[in-house]
Amino acid sequence: MKQNRVFSALLTGCVMLGSLPLLTASAGNYTRVAVHDPSVVKTQDGSYFIIGSHLGAARSADLMNWTSAANSDRGSTGTTFFNNIYTDLAVPEKWSNTTDGYDLSGNMWAPDIIYNTAMGKYCMYLSVNGQVWNSSVVLCTADSIEGPYTYQGTIVYSGFTNNSVNNVNDTDVPKVLGHNPDISRYLTNGGWNAAYGTNAIDPAVFYDETGSLHMVYGSWFGGIYMLELDEQTGLRDYNVKYETKANVADAYMGQKIAGGNYVSGEGPYIEYMKAPGAEKGYYYLFLSYGYFNSNGGYNMRIFRSENPQGPYTDQNGNSAIYPSGADNIGGTTGERLMSNYQWACNDRPFKAQGHNSALMDDDGKLYVIYHTKFDDAYGFHEVRVHQLIMNDDGWITAAPYEYSGESLSDAGHTAAAVTGEYDFIFHTLNQKFENEKSADVEKPQSISLNADGTVSGAVTGTWAMRSGTPYMSITFNNVTYKGAFLVQADESAAMTQRMTFTATGNNTCVWGSKKAAYDRAADVVDLTPLENGTYTLQSVNSGLYLNTNAAQSAEQNTDAAVWTLKQTGDGYYTVQNAAGKALTVENGSADNGADILLADLNGGTAQKFRIVQEGEGVYALLTAASGSKGCADVYNISTEPGANICQWEYWGGDGQKYRIVPAKAAAGDVNADGQTDRADALALQRYLLTLETALPDPQAADVNGDGRLTGEDLTMLKRSLLQ
């Protein structure tokens, strides 16, 4: 959390008022929480846990609905994180308590929790702030993520001098620099030289891809530094040495990776991320620029590196380390993730978004978790989560609306789905503000993505979409912004589904939200059609199989669960059971709720289904009777055997998706024509003449089930066929 010396006492008090994880009302299906400087960790039970300044904390199972954790709603002195902060943290409290009126409870800033596998402990890295730079980052450990935590040691100090209050000999500086160390570079006029030395707060700890443990930390002024930690203790690895070199490294503070020279930059967070299927990724460094009040120009910036220690650069090749005289807190250095903005569906502007963490989840999805403020109160804030999209160049950009469970389309989108008129937000790289007085807010303008690949409206240029993928680009004013289309719920109370895009270029991000609500039926991407043949249809929602009663059951690979799919020549299929009966929309109705039942095959519209791919091996059955706007749907999204199948508006839920796989041939159906007859006996006899080893598919002709193809199989098969 940023500390502005002039306003430090005032700002700390304001933040405390808004930092407890209080639940607040909101539009849509969300439960809000207020945690300042949220740092995320995914727990062993699969839930998400965030902790922030003043020990605010919350849990969520879905990144949308949050509940208070660790009794953090009782304040920093009442949480379960510590038994008693004044005794448990007495060592760092003594270092920082040098000014009148100092209270530890208001100076526990921006902690980060990581599970250390070697220690078998949850490790909390906590900033203990001091009012005159005398801060420290400490390690506390616990068996449970909610505590209680025990102080284990201090990682790094700042604000040390040679006076009796903050004597360098009370720190680990002599252990690093030697007895009677030269600390002149850290001092100016007898006090801490903040232009050179960082403030020891805002830690973020991560394992690199080799298993080494690192801590990035620091705030404003002297810059952002990194120390390598000992994986066995979680503390500083004193065997790793750093050579003091201006704007590169400091023997005590570690490797310099960003900021410095009294220029903005705080809340560092590093996450290794890679695109799905990519062999390697990058280490992405997030920083927050500006003053953290609602009119302070606060915003998130991104740099990346192939190595955890750097060098970190932005899209334009600029170093994250600021040279002397660099531009200040607006600036053009670093990819700006978002500016102050307001969609038409938002009742107030979102401002001062920042001090974030990030997550690459187990399924490859990427997220940014941050606090946002508004234009209605100085310190009031809430947690927001947006999905991050990685573009073709490996740069990340945030989705336009907060996360609501959406995913990128594996198959891409149709031209009809993505063309049209959009609300468009351009996140100005150097957005104007006047600290504590006013700040610009970006509001949507109107553009059109035209079918001929041109862009018209507030900006003019061109756009393109890579076939079979959601990835796109938009070019205007000689800059190409690359990103992706994504179907999202907007932030209205109705959570209307909309086609959106997010893209980035020249360190700037742009968002689009289609003005017309998303029409899923217009976004059906036809891939390679299924061949005529026999298949089983397994519900993605229930795991049960569509059976010949047009209901779902646990039966698998029996005649009652095997269907013959046959193309009708016009893009549709008939779906017939073993008796030749066809799935049929009752009375050919186009209405929601119309039964899907079995009837004699007549080839009419009611018996035609358009089979479209929803994912690898996953399909939906759109009904011709509804004009492909409805589909075969498990009634009430039931997971119970016997649940009926009906027609319902196609919206892409799991109750509308089926895993369609070829049916295994029944025992004895050697030629796999769906029948067991004399042709199978002849096929088996011919096979026996050429091969007397195990059959590749024993189920097909290994009638006696002994794993070999033998004369006994032939005898048994003949006997069964002649009966």
Residues annotated as catalytic (active site), given as ranges: 37, 266
Rounded CA gap, 388 and 385, in Å? 9
**702 within 8 A of 712, measured Cβ to Cβ:** no
β-partners of residue 590 are: none
**Reduced to 3 states, what is the DSSP secondary structure of residue 520?**
helix
Question: Do the Cβ atoms of 574 and 599 come closer than 8 Å?
Answer: no
User: What is the C-alpha separation between 431 and 330, in angstroms, rounded?
Assistant: 7
Spell out a b/e string for 517-540, using b for 16 or more CB atoms within 10 Å of the CB, else e. Answer: ebebbbbbbeeeebeeebbbbbbb
Q: At 162, list the tokens.
A: 């040679």
What backbone torsions phi and psi does residue 159 show, to the nearest 5 degrees?
80, 10
Contact 53, 36 (CB under 8 A): yes
**DSSP three-state, residue 624:** helix
Give the number of other Cβ atoms within 10 Å of residue 600's Cβ. Answer: 10
**N- to C-terminal Cα distance for the chain?**
83
Rounded Cα gap, residues 294 and 351, in angstroms: 6
For residue 371, which of 62, 696, 21, 716 has the smallest C-alpha distance?
21
Question: What are the residues whose beta carbons fall under 8 Å from the beta carbon of 42, sequence distance 6 or more?
Answer: 48, 49, 359, 361, 362
CA distances from 670 to 55, 684, 685, 716 (A): 68, 7, 10, 14
What is the rounded CA–CA span in Å between residue 191 and residue 159? 8
Report DSSP letters for 115-132, one per residue. EETTTTEEEEEEEE--TT
| Cα–Cα nearest to 7, from 361, 436, 385 | 436
Spatial separation of the C-alpha atoms in residues 73 and 55, rounded to whole Å: 9
Tokens of 575: 């779906």
| Tokens linked to 355 | 């001090």
CB 142 within 8 A of CB 124: yes
Cα 300 to its chain centre, rounded Å, is 16
**Beta strand segments in 94-219, E:** 108-116, 121-128, 136-142, 150-157, 187-188, 191-192, 204-207, 213-218
Q: Is the dihedral angle over the CA atoms 161, 162, 166, 170 positive or is it negative?
A: positive
Q: What angle do CA 257, 261, 262 make, to 5 degrees?
A: 110
Cα 133 to Cα 70: distance, rounded to the nearest angstrom = 29
CA 175 to chain centre: 41
Q: 556: how many CB neighbours lie within 10 A of its CB?
A: 16
